Homo-oligomer: A and B are copies of this chain.
Amino acid sequence: MTPDEFRRLGHEVVEWVAAYRESLESHPVMSQVSPGDVRRQLPAAPPVDGESLDFALSDLDRIVLPGITHWSHPRFLAYFPSNASLSSVLADLVATGLGVQGMSWQTSPAATELEEVVMDWLRQMAGLPAAFTGVIHDTASTATLVALLCARERATDHSQTRGGLQAEERPLAVYTSEQSHSSIEKAALLAGFGRKHVRAIGTGETFAVSVDELRAAIERDLDAGVRPCAIVATVGSTATTAVDPVAELAEIAAETGAWLHVDAALAGSAMILPECRRLWEGVDRADSLVFNPHKWLGAAFDCTAYFVRDHEHLIRVMSTNPSYLRTAVDAEVSNFRDWHIQLGRRFRSLKLWFLIREQGVSGLQARLRRDLANAQWLATAIAAEPGWEICAPVPLQTVCCRHVPAGLDDEAVDAHNQAWVDRLNASGFAYLTPAVVKGRRIVRVSIGSEATERKHVEEAWAAMRRTVEHM
């Protein structure tokens, strides 16, 4: 495609994206297609000859859009807010247009140095101490895997340079809350610890990890010759945004020599609000920390912030140094390929740069405060409504609730809640996520799409009550 063809179609795509964002409310939030509906409209073999992309643009409307679940919709209240602020969309277009690799400083110095600067902006915005250094990863799942690999290598004095984990005599264990994200267990399994050595520690009424149970589990392991390797704290759990007591976990980590990783994938964005920082008090003692500016904060996916206290250790675990990647300036610069699993890397810092400049810290703060207030409003409304229950504390933007009709047993209540949320989701009016917490079915209302104003929360709440009434 020539630059001139790109101009013509590029302007059309810009209009298409703008029109898409303006028309969000006209779409059902959750896609209404059935399995196979999209696939059967596409040719099974690739085209031999090229064609104008005008056809592809019209196929977007005809084939792709019906198969889209609209994460930017103002009544998207499912999963987590995954904002792709339009400023960051522009930045991503610049990055893709430049088409550069930021694997080494020399392969595009601006990609490395802009990332150093904006990650330090982000550190300051979240109130983290200067001892932390940040790097952009793709997802929290990958960053958590890196954290557990760094923990493994610190605990074994770099076993990977010798016989590897398989040559270690005393097994290592990882501790995390039973409410922690599935990526924690997945990372522990991939890192070779084995499910037998992953301790899912019980939680109390607020779904925060029980410090007593954690201490007891560690003691049992020490008695059995198992070494505590890593503690993963969750700040803002996926199901209920539960908050583990980071300071107490940091104390246990210090006592035992375990690595402390803090998973604040969603909640980290909230830390640009000074009034929220009490939620992760003690975070300055973590060895590593991950949060996702690509969630609530608004940088288009993927843009995960991984902060570490000892970046030399990270580099030692992750670095390779083949001749074809060496450059004369290596001693003076950061080569971010050595800060994660991947070698190639996009110029993702542009997304944060554009987002933060366009909104300013105050603009981002105002939007997040709006969402926190909307969540409090909804929680109050639900709590006041007969037959409805709030199922967990609401420290952030997620409200967990259920409807409890009189006279039903627990199983029937679970089935009822699954049924009404399925019906509401299928209607396309709003989209919520059901979950199971401690064996009970709840419904999560996760507020935080950029487009979600109070009226959309009110509309969704009205739809929830209406749906229940018609069951």
A216 at interface by CB-CB < 8 Å = no
Q: How many Å from the CB of A183 to the closest CB on chain B? A: 6
A212 at interface by CB-CB < 8 Å = no
Tell me the nearest residue of chain B to A70, going by C-beta.
Answer: B100
Q: Are A357 and B50 in contact (CB under 8 A)?
A: yes
A1 at interface by CB-CB < 8 Å = yes
Residues on the B chain within 8 Å of A67, using CB: 108-111, 113-114
Q: Are A360 and B301 in contact (CB under 8 A)?
A: no
Return the CB mask of A5-46 against B: 1 if under 8 Å, else 0: 111011101111111111000000011010111110011111
Q: Are B162 and A167 in contact (CB under 8 A)?
A: no
Q: Are B161 and A195 in contact (CB under 8 A)?
A: yes
Q: Are A361 and B47 in contact (CB under 8 A)?
A: yes
Q: With A53-B90, A194-B160 given, is the CB distance from A341 to B141 under 8 Å?
A: yes
User: Helix, strand, loop or mixed for chain A's interface?
Assistant: helix
Return the CB mask of A329-357 against B: 1 if under 8 Å, else 0: 10011000000011110100010011011
- The number of times this chain is found in the oligomer is 2
Residues on the B chain within 8 Å of A238, using CB: 322, 324
**Residue in contact with A35 in the complex, picked from B17, B181, B193, B333, CB distance below 8 Å:** B333
**Residue in contact with A18 in the complex, picked from B10, B31, B122, CB distance below 8 Å:** B10
Can you show 21 pairs from A to B with CB atoms below 8 A apart?
A: A1-B87, A31-B106, A35-B333, A42-B117, A47-B356, A48-B362, A53-B357, A56-B354, A83-B99, A84-B96, A138-B342, A141-B342, A142-B341, A163-B196, A164-B165, A166-B168, A166-B172, A182-B320, A238-B322, A323-B435, A324-B444
Bound Cα distance from A272 to B325, whole angstroms:
28
